[in-house]
Structure 1
Amino acid sequence: MFEALAHPTRRQILQDLKDGELAAGEIAARFAATGPTISRHLRVLRGAGLVSERRDGNRILYSLVSGRLALSVGDFLSTVCPEQIVLREVRKRRPASVPDAETAPASLSDTADEPARA
């Protein structure tokens, strides 16, 4: 996955796909690179599980695989960050009805001064 993310063209393709499905030709038209070069980039992204494709007549439409990037990066970080491993174990043992102290505010007044999160 990190190899797929290493190239700026592939990162831009992912950025372009975040707003929805695009045909291969539409993706290629956004770059100065040749069609075969963009096809190779799309193949790498597909191989990493970051995009999916479907055929519509003679067109190939690409879309992001929902949540794949976040889950993969989260899994990677949790394996290399000891603090994250400890937090994950604590959350596994905590009953589902108990809010996470790191993410849940103590009261509604705690959220009044916080900036909106995107």
Structure 2
Amino acid sequence: MNLAFKALSDPTRRQILDLLKERDLTAGEIADHFHISKPSISQHLKILKHAELIQDEKKGQYIIYSLNTTVFQDLMNWALKFTRTGQQEERGN
């Protein structure tokens, strides 16, 4: 989970995730939304993939990137537990 938080710390990677939330995209389609080099986008995609926040699938000559919703569900469950624990401590439970 630590890799996921590190990956999420970068605003460009968070923007990539927002794009993928809408639909699956190729690296080129993702790069079209940014004013940075394609190799930089590839590096961001590599970090997101290593953190298991996205997955890729080769379709013909393209690689299609999509969100790995399972990891997001795990992160949300963890965050909700963390929040509930903090609220209980504030109430003295």
TM-score, scaled to structure 2:
0.79
Compare relative contact order (CA 8 Å, sep 6+) and give the higher one, 1 or 2.
2
The share of aligned pairs that are identical, in percent, is: 39
Structure-1 residue corresponding to 2:16: 13
Structure-2 residue corresponding to 1:38: 41
Matched ranges for 1:62-81 at <5 A: 62-75=65-78, 78=81, 80=82
Is residue 56 of structure 1 aligned with residue 59 of structure 2? yes
Unaligned runs of 5+ in 1: 87-118
The 1-side partners of 2:84 and 2:63 are apart by 42
Q: Which portions of structure 1, spanning 4 or more consecutive aligned residues, are displaced by more than 3 angstroms?
A: none
TM-score, scaled to structure 1:
0.63
Q: Please report how far the alpha carbon of residue 81 of structure 1 lies from its aligned counterpart in structure 2 after TM superposition.
A: 5.2
The 1-side partners of 2:20 and 2:65 are apart by 8
Report which of the two has the higher share of helix: 2
Distance 1:25 1:82, change over 3 A: closer
Q: Please report how far the alpha carbon of residue 61 of structure 1 lies from its aligned counterpart in structure 2 after TM superposition.
A: 0.6
Q: Please report how far the alpha carbon of residue 43 of structure 1 lies from its aligned counterpart in structure 2 after TM superposition.
A: 0.6
- Tell me how large the CA RMSD over aligned residues is: 1.9
Structure-2 residue corresponding to 1:83: 85
Larger radius of gyration: 1
Write out per-residue CA displacement over residues 23-61 of structure 1, whole angstroms, 9 at most, x where no aligned residue.
110001110010000000001111111100011111111
Structure-2 residue corresponding to 1:23: 26
